[in-house]
Amino acid sequence: MSIDLSGLSAKELATLIRDAQKRKTVVAKRLPITKVRAQLTAAAKKAGYTIEELFGGAAPKAGRPAKAAKTSAPKAGRKLAKVAPKYRNPANAEETWTGRGKQPRWLAELTGKGRKVEDFLIQK
């Protein structure tokens, strides 16, 4: 991870360093994630549950009321196939658009300045 610090003043840098040191102290005091997982699993088991019952994934045990599960049910209708991109941002080659849906911000900004959408077509 790279942060551009060149535009920060001395006061902003001091604040950033202070905040980073506070965060470092908090993170250093935390238990390793594997140890926390083991503790959670042990506490759930002691109470008669599994992690899957508590956090989703398994059916509830008999005798307990079932909660309404929030699932993303497949929507009715046809599935659309993946489409190859038709347009590419000249400033950033990773930004593309298939021509479907709302125009991306980079394209809307450039067309707002008078350029044409056809200027950004990907040559095949």
Query: What total number of domains does the chain contain?
Result: 2
Contacts of 100 (CB under 8 A, 6+ apart): 83
Q: State the Rg of the chain over Cα.
A: 26
Domain assignment present for 105: yes
Instruction: Tell me the torsion sign for CA atoms 92, 95, 97, 98.
Output: positive
Whether the pLDDT of residue 82 is over 70: the answer is yes
What is the overall mean pLDDT for the chain?
84
**Considering the domain boundaries, does residue 69 fall inside one?**
no
**Predicted confidence (pLDDT) per residue in 28-51, tens digit:** 999 888 999 899 999 999 999 888
What is the percent of the chain with per-residue pLDDT over 90, rounded to a whole number? 52
Q: Is residue 28 part of a domain?
A: yes
In a domain, 77, yes or no: no
Within a domain: 68: no
Q: How confident is the model at residue 60 (pLDDT cuts 50, 70, 90)?
A: very low
Range of the domain at 101: 87-120
Amino acid 75: pLDDT? 67
Q: Give the C-alpha distances (Å, rounded to integers) separating 25 from 14, 15, 18, 66, 109.
A: 17, 16, 11, 42, 43
Residue 106, in any domain of the structure: yes
